């Protein structure tokens, strides 16, 4: 068989096995990962808003449906800047005109093919055989953090880690050459893609790990040649610059939003951009050391999946025992130890130093998510261990490893059987008595038998390879039943049906909005509505919602002027509740699930004001503002809405004399006004809402969102992607010339 065909055959086999591993997501419509409050309460509505916008030919930048209106790209977590999300958003909507949850599951499964492929490339770059790369790629793509993390924004940031290491290894090896520079640019491009993912935590942990690896390699090069070391530093600088360029579409809006928002971090009060996340929050979100049992026992964890499996752990220890003098072994071990050290939080000096001395490190509050770095290190060691195992040249250290591996595996299996026998016998386990422990015990017992057979030459290469792959997939698949829910199971599908009870009430509100031809807002009273972004799901603007952050000026206004009064000021026309929440409310709709009450005291969504009271400039200035006239004896027509979309509102105004047009929408950088086609500044009302000066007469006023942070970020990202395209051409051309 030709060499190129064997190589591609290994990749096809890897991707095929990975796809079959995620058969519930890719090939079936009976399972879902959307079985938690965060996923159906936040992620699905975010995706729904963006899918509807993309299907209407609009790039979504603003979400008007939650908390009065928020920047979509600024929040990061909606993932609007992540290019791999765009095909999902362009996919056909379901029969109700919303995002099809089946497409979401398919997307969530297919994207896991990438980390398996990236890890394969990394292991091959380290000089390992195709089988070692195949096994390690399967382990990373189908195991641990990657296989069971439910938040897409976290997954999307972590999948680029092995690709970043791959390009790092290549440009360090190639050095100060055109191919080295091209790979340095691509290294930065992969970092940039991780930053586009939708969350800052996994990219941050990746950056820490990659920077640590580079620092170690740089120091070794510095000891050999200072000139080469400084050239290597320049290449890493090129990577950093490219990373910023590629990620600019997400970074610039996020930095802008972060300075103008509060973030909820499981503390008593939300924190601002300048406020460090309290250390006790990091203590709550750490990786519990006791869950290291989960490294070999499926589902034995609290925060994130620590599993690496008996097969990879045993092979990793073989690499440590027999190949410690190799640089790549030490780097892989350093990744594993460093990932745990960050994940352990307050149990680790490294975590404390990062929190105190590294800028922005305190904002990565969930150290448990660094576990994928630990797992990447273990799986790299496992690939090196496979190489040693297949060579049969393990020497005296290898012989001791065989002896101790067999003892540990057999002891674990025997002890597990004894414990489970007595636990089940005494009735201490009510359901699923030790199933996961038994899976781990069976794998340990089988692995011990396989290693013994290989040591005694009782099986050949083919048998060993099949056994290692089969055992790896068996133990890594065990947590999947908990990660993915059968939609037919009433106990597991509860979150999928969370929005159904709102259907009748939302249909009423939407009909009322269409009849009034004015965008209406509603609120949900009581704990029943907590955690549901109903407005984003049904396309009606909501005054509350379930977010990780919110506009600081609006939040301060609500706290200063009163939550009830501010909601009326914001034009909250309807309240969904079980019983009235205000004395003057009028019940206008009722079904078995909800009652809808109208609030007679709610302001219109836009009105004219002939006074400059509580008007300030975009930067809070009070001097040099436009003046308006008072005409109390003339009755004016109310402001009329001609059209509204995610980022554009057209209004018909006819003030008898100059006035301020007030909109009950949050002021935010990027909102501009055009009065009869002439660009006008959008000022602030009560520091939080939008105000536009309009002269006497009849005008069409357009309020449009043109955020400079998004447009500048888009241009920079486009330039960064062009650099990456050019670097890819150079890298491939140089590789072809070398071969």
Least confident of 349-353, 518-522, 562-566: 562-566
Residue 366: pLDDT band (50, 70, 90) is confident
- Max alpha carbon distance in the chain (Å)? 104
Q: Which residue has the higher pLDDT, 288 or 233?
A: 233
Asked whether 587 and 580 are in contact (CB, 8 A), the reply is yes
Asked whether 204 and 319 are in contact (CB, 8 A), the reply is no
pLDDT at 479: 87
Closest alpha carbon to 693 in 604, 606, 612: 612
Q: Which residue has the higher pLDDT, 368 or 165?
A: 165
Residue 300: pLDDT band (50, 70, 90) is confident
Instruction: Quick: pLDDT tens for 190-244.
Output: 999 999 998 999 999 999 999 999 999 999 999 998 999 999 999 999 999 999 9
Please return the burial class of 14, using the count of CB atoms within 10 Å of its CB with bins 0-12, 13-18 and 19+: buried
pLDDT at 738 over 70: no
Measured at the alpha carbon of residue 268, what is the angle toward residues 69 and 284, in degrees to the nearest 5?
105
Q: What are the angstrom distances between the C-alpha of 627 and each of 13, 499, 674?
A: 72, 47, 18
pLDDT at 294 over 90: no
Q: What is the mean pLDDT of the chain?
A: 89
Counting Cα atoms < 13 Å in the Cβ hemisphere of 234 gives: 12
DSSP state of 687: T
For the chain, give every domain's residue range. 500-598, 606-707
Closest alpha carbon to 30 in 496, 478, 488, 497: 488
Distance CA 509, CA 539 (A): 10
Distance CA 280, CA 294 (A): 24
Instruction: Quick: pLDDT tens for 417-468.
Output: 777 766 665 544 444 557 888 888 898 999 999 998 888 889 988 999 999 9
pLDDT at 336 over 90: yes
Least confident of 278-292, 353-367, 421-435: 421-435
pLDDT at 709 over 50: yes
pLDDT at 218: 93
The H-or-E segment that residue 576 falls in is strand 572-577
pLDDT at 27: 94
Tokens (6 digits) for 6: 């064997």
The Cβ of residue 267 has, within 10 Å, a number of other Cβ atoms equal to 15
pLDDT at 427: 44
pLDDT at 404: 84
Distance CA 440, CA 474 (A): 9
The Cβ of residue 259 has, within 10 Å, a number of other Cβ atoms equal to 13
Could you give phi then psi for residue 703, rounded to 5 degrees?
-105, 120
Distance CA 398, CA 567 (A): 70
Distance CA 40, CA 607 (A): 36
Least confident of 2-6, 500-504, 651-655: 2-6
Instruction: Quick: pLDDT tens for 588-625.
Output: 999 988 999 999 989 999 999 988 889 999 988 888 88
Pairing of strands 485-486, 31-32: antiparallel
Distance CA 572, CA 603 (A): 8
Distance CA 674, CA 654 (A): 15
pLDDT at 345 over 60: yes
pLDDT at 409: 84
Distance CA 705, CA 327 (A): 52
Closest alpha carbon to 187 in 214, 205, 153: 214
HEC string of 504-530 equals: HHHHHHHHHHHHHCCCCEEEECCHHHC
Distance CA 482, CA 400 (A): 38
Q: What are the angstrom distances between the C-alpha of 484 and each of 163, 478, 531?
A: 27, 11, 21
Q: Which residue has the higher pLDDT, 531 or 630?
A: 630
Distance CA 676, CA 672 (A): 13
pLDDT at 429: 40
**Global pTM?**
0.93
What average pLDDT does this structure show over 683-696?
Answer: 93
pLDDT at 716 over 90: yes
pLDDT at 295: 87
Ramachandran area for residue 434 (φ above 0: left; ψ -120 to 50: alpha; else beta): left
pLDDT at 733: 77
Tokens (6 digits) for 553: 């000026």
As a whole-number percent, the residues of the chain with pLDDT over 70 amount to: 95
Instruction: Quick: pLDDT tens for 246-255.
Output: 999 999 999 9
pLDDT at 529: 56
CATH class for the region spanning 606-707: mainly beta
Q: What are the angstrom distances between the C-alpha of 717 and each of 160, 210, 706?
A: 17, 22, 17
Q: Where are the alpha helices (DSSP H) in 159-200?
A: 161-174, 178-195
Instruction: List Cβ<8 Å contacts ≥24 apart for 80-85.
Output: 80/50, 80/198, 81/196, 81/198, 81/249, 81/250, 81/253, 81/713, 81/717, 82/156, 82/193, 82/196, 82/197, 82/198, 82/250, 83/193, 83/196, 84/111, 84/156, 85/47, 85/50, 85/152, 85/156, 85/198
What average pLDDT does this structure show over 329-341?
Answer: 94
The H-or-E segment that residue 678 falls in is strand 678-680
Max avg pLDDT among 60-64, 494-498, 527-531: 60-64
pLDDT at 433: 54
Please return the burial class of 215, using the count of CB atoms within 10 Å of its CB with bins 0-12, 13-18 and 19+: exposed
What b/e string do you get for 689-703 counting C-beta neighbours within 10 Å, with b at 16 or more? bbbbbbeeeebebbb
pLDDT at 546 over 90: no
């Amino acid at each position: 068989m030709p060499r190129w065909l064997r190589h591609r055959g290994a990749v096809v086999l890897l991707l095929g096995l990975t796809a079959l591993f995620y058969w519930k997501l890719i090939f079936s419509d009976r399972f879902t990962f959307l079985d938690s409050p965060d996923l159906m309460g936040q992620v699905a509505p975010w995706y729904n808003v963006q899918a509807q916008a993309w299907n209407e030919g609009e790039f979504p930048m603003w979400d008007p449906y939650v908390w009065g209106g928020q920047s979509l790209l600024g929040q990061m977590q909606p993932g609007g800047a992540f290019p791999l999300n765009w095909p999902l958003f362009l996919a056909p909507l379901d029969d109700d005109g919303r995002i099809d949850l089946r497409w979401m599951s398919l997307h969530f499964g297919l994207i896991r093919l990438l980390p398996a492929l990236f890890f394969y490339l990394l292991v091959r770059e380290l000089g390992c055989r195709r089988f070692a790369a195949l096994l390690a790629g399967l382990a990373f793509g189908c195991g641990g953090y990657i296989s069971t993390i439910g938040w897409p924004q976290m997954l999307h940031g972590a999948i680029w880690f092995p690709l970043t290491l791959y390009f790092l290894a290549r440009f360090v090896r190639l050095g100060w050459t055109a191919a080295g520079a091209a790979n340095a640019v691509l290294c930065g491009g992969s970092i940039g893609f991780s930053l586009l993912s939708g969350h800052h935590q996994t990219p941050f942990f990746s950056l820490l790990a990659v920077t640590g690896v580079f620092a170690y390699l740089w120091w070794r090069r510095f000891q050999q040649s200072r000139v080469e070391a400084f050239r290597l530093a320049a290449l890493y600088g090129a990577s950093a610059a490219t990373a910023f360029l590629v990620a600019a579409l997400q970074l610039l809006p996020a930095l802008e939003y972060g300075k103008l928002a509060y973030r909820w971090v499981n503390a008593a009060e939300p924190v601002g951009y300048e406020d460090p996340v309290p250390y006790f929050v990091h203590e709550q979100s750490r990786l519990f050391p006791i869950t290291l049992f989960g490294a070999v026992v499926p589902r034995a964890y609290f925060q994130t999946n620590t599993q690496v499996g008996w097969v990879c752990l045993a092979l990793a220890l073989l690499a440590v025992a027999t190949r410690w003098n190799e640089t790549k072994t030490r780097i892989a071990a350093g990744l594993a130890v460093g990932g745990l050290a960050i994940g352990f939080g307050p149990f680790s000096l490294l975590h404390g130093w990062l929190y105190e001395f590294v800028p922005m490190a305190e904002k990565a509050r969930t150290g448990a998510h660094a576990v994928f770095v630990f797992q990447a290190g273990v799986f790299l060691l496992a690939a090196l261990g496979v190489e040693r195992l297949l060579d049969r040249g393990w020497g005296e250290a290898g012989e001791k490893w065989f002896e101790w591996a067999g003892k540990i595996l057999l002891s674990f299996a025997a002890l597990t059987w004894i414990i489970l026998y007595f636990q089940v016998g005494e009735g201490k386990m009510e359901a699923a008595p030790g199933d996961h422990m038994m899976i781990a015990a069976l794998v340990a017992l089988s692995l011990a038998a396989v290693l013994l057979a290989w040591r005694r030459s009782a099986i050949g290469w083919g048998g060993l390879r099949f056994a290692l792959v089969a055992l790896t997939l068996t133990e890594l698949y065990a947590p999947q039943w908990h990660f993915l829910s059968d939609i037919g199971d009433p106990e597991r599908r509860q979150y999928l049906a969370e929005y159904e009870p709102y259907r009748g009430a939302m249909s009423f509100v939407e009909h009322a909005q269409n009849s009034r031809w004015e965008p209406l807002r509603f609120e949900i009273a009581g704990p029943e509505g907590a955690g549901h972004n109903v407005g984003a799901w049904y396309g009606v603007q909501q005054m509350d919602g379930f977010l990780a952050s919110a506009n600081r000026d609006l939040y301060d206004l609500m706290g200063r002027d009163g939550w009830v009064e501010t909601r009326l000021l914001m034009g909250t026309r309807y309240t969904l509740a079980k019983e009235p929440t205000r004395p003057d409310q009028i019940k206008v709709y009722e079904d078995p699930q909800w009652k809808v009450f109208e609030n007679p005291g709610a302001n219109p969504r836009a009105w004219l004001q002939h006074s400059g009271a509580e008007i300030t400039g975009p930067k809070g200035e009070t001097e040099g503002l436009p003046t308006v006239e008072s005409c109390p004896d003339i009755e004016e027509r109310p402001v009329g809405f001609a059209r509204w979309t995610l980022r554009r509102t057209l209004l018909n105004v006819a003030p008898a004399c100059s006035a301020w047009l007030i909109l009950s929408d949050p002021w935010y950088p990027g909102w501009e006004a055009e009065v009869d086609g002439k660009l006008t500044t959008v000022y602030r009302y009560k520091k939080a809402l939008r105000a536009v000066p309009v002269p006497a007469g009849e005008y069409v006023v357009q309020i449009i969102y043109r955020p400079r942070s998004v447009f500048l970020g888009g241009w920079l990202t486009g330039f960064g992607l062009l650099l990456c395209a050019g670097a890819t051409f150079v890298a491939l051309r140089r590789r072809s010339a070398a071969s």
